[in-house]
Amino acid sequence: MARVRDPAGYDGQREMILSHAAALFAQRGYAGTSMNEVAAACGVSKATLYHYVRDKHDLAVRIAEEHVLRLEALVNDTLGRHADPAQRLQALIRGFGREYAQAQNAHRVLTEDVRFLREEDQQRILDVERRVVAAFAATIAEVRGEAPDSALGKPLAMLLFGMINWTFTWLKPGGALDHDTIGTMVSELFFGGVGAVSLPATARPRKPRAA
């Protein structure tokens, strides 16, 4: 009789493998990481590793594609919950900040290692990214009182992504600022300009004590 696979156990093991692989790719790069190292980090044999993924390429595809699909799901959920375009855009910015905080390694793989993938895989992932950008662009156009296909919607969306997509390169975990705070600051900056940005009280430097 064939063995019945435990879905929860299988999925949990698979997620663990993707998480460890994403961490290794983020630290060493896709080219600098071997399947032997992934197996060792996961505490499984190489044979067990190949039970869950075909090869290193398959690992990178799954990490990047599942990450961008989660971002698209976040967009779709936000679009459904916020009719007001300004509230929707603010929720999108904060939501992406929180998602990036939870998936920094996967986001680094998406931004830096997709170039190593086969063209058809790159294209599939890029199509999802384009849908995400289009949703941001249409929302920004609505905030400006313009048609969804406004000529400025996409350029402004790309400028916005330029602010939030690369925080993982400089924002240190455990510091005075976290991703949620940065998301709020980006929203203030995008809507109100430099003068609208304020530092949360919890992040303000303490005054030196008097001698």
Residue type at position 115: R
Mean pLDDT of 21-35: 96
**Encoded tokens for 178:** 């976290």
The torsion angle over the Cα atoms of residues 65, 71, 77 and 83, rounded to 10 degrees, is -140
Report helix, strand or coil for 208.
coil
Does residue 146 fall inside a structural domain? yes
Element (H, E) at 171: none
Domain span holding position 51 = 11-194
The CATH number of the domain holding residue 17 is: 1.10.357.10
> In the predicted model, what is the mean pLDDT of residues 80-93?
95
Q: Domain tally for the chain?
A: 1
For residue 199, the model assigns a pLDDT of: 75
Higher model confidence: residue 32 or residue 175? 32
203 part of a folded domain: no
Average pLDDT across the chain, whole number: 89
Rounded CA-CA distance 142/156 in Å is 12
Mapping DSSP to helix (H, G, I), strand (E, B) and coil, where does residue 104 land? helix
The answer to whether residue 5 is domain-embedded is no
Q: Is 198 left (phi over 0), alpha (psi -120 to 50) or beta?
A: beta
Domain membership of residue 174 (yes or no) is yes
In the numeric block, the tokens 């992406």 are attached to 96
Residue 67 has pLDDT above 50, yes or no: yes
Report pLDDT for 5: 47
Residue matched to tokens 């595809």: 61
The pTM (predicted TM-score) of the whole model is 0.85
